[in-house]
Amino acid sequence: MMVIGFFLVVYILVLAGLAYLGRTALVRDTHSPTGAAVSIVIPFRNEAEYLPKLVEALRQLTYPSENMEVIFVNDHSQDHGARWLAANLPANAQLVSLPGNEYGKKAALAAGIAPARGTIIVTTDADCVMSPDWLQAVVAPFANPAVQLATGEVVISGSSFFSACQHVEFSTVMLLTRAAIRLGKPVLCNGANLAFRKSAYEQVGGYAGHRHVASGDDEFLMRNILEQFGDASVAWHR
């Protein structure tokens, strides 16, 4: 009981701190640099069931269309997702396929980032759905020239008991991630809601050196950026 009580107190303190930090963050995020050119890179593999909702959400984005592009990267899907996407691409989107000798999320992300025209790269997953004003929030921290990478919240949906447990666990991780970033000590980020300057990505060598590791594309990149640019280079977007 004492252990549970201790963690409950810690959790409440984190919430209280975030409430204060979040309040000040909203003030900083008021003026969003909507003139920034943004490239959204979305790798996918055998995720045909999610693509219609994702494409519809992308079409509902309110960010200026002339400053936004979407790059889907097909990582050797064996379902009908790539065919469906080719027939239903939004006007500002393109579909890239990985060559036969390249596999995995890091390779897919790199293949999407290479032709990207945006100065800010935004990554998300094919099973995600975003709100219409998502991009405005994502790019807001980049009004500060010191910021090279920004991450934000990812919410687990679903009505099952397992989904509810996942939601609680994931929300706790998000709270701690946000607190650490607000305190200037970033330790985690999430590639499903991540943005970074393309120039910073290129300066640190992208995902080079970690291609052999199946996961961790987001955190490896964040660590490389932190080493190159310092703690102030990572921000949390609302």
Q: Per-residue pLDDT tens for 171-196? A: 554 556 555 666 566 655 788 899 99
Mean pLDDT value of segment 81-108: 95
Helix H, strand E, coil C: the string for the chain is CHHHHHHHHHHHHHHHHHHHHHHHHHHHCCCCCCCCCEEEEEEECCCCCCHHHHHHHHHCCCCCHHHEEEEEEECCCCCCHHHHHHHCCCCCEEEEECCCCCCCHHHHHHHHHCCCCCCEEEECCCCCCCCCCHHHHHHHHHHCCCCCEEECCCCCCCCCHHHHHHHHHHHHHHHHHHHHHHCCCCCCCCHHHEEEEHHHHHHCCCCCCCCCCCCCHHHHHHHHHHHHHCHHHEEECC
What CATH number belongs to 2-236?
A: 3.90.550.10
Which of residues 210 and 165 earns the better pLDDT score?
210
User: Across residues 79-107, what is the average pLDDT?
Assistant: 95
102-151 pLDDT per residue, tens: 999 999 999 999 999 999 999 999 999 999 999 999 999 999 999 999 99
Higher pLDDT, 238 or 75: 75
Give domain limits for the chain. Answer: 2-236
pLDDT tier, 156 (very low <50, low <70, confident <90, very high otherwise)? low
Categorize the per-residue pLDDT at 47 as very low, low, confident or very high, splitting at 50, 70 and 90.
Answer: very high
- The mean predicted confidence, pLDDT, of the chain is 79
Looking at the predicted structure, is the pLDDT value of residue 158 above 60? no
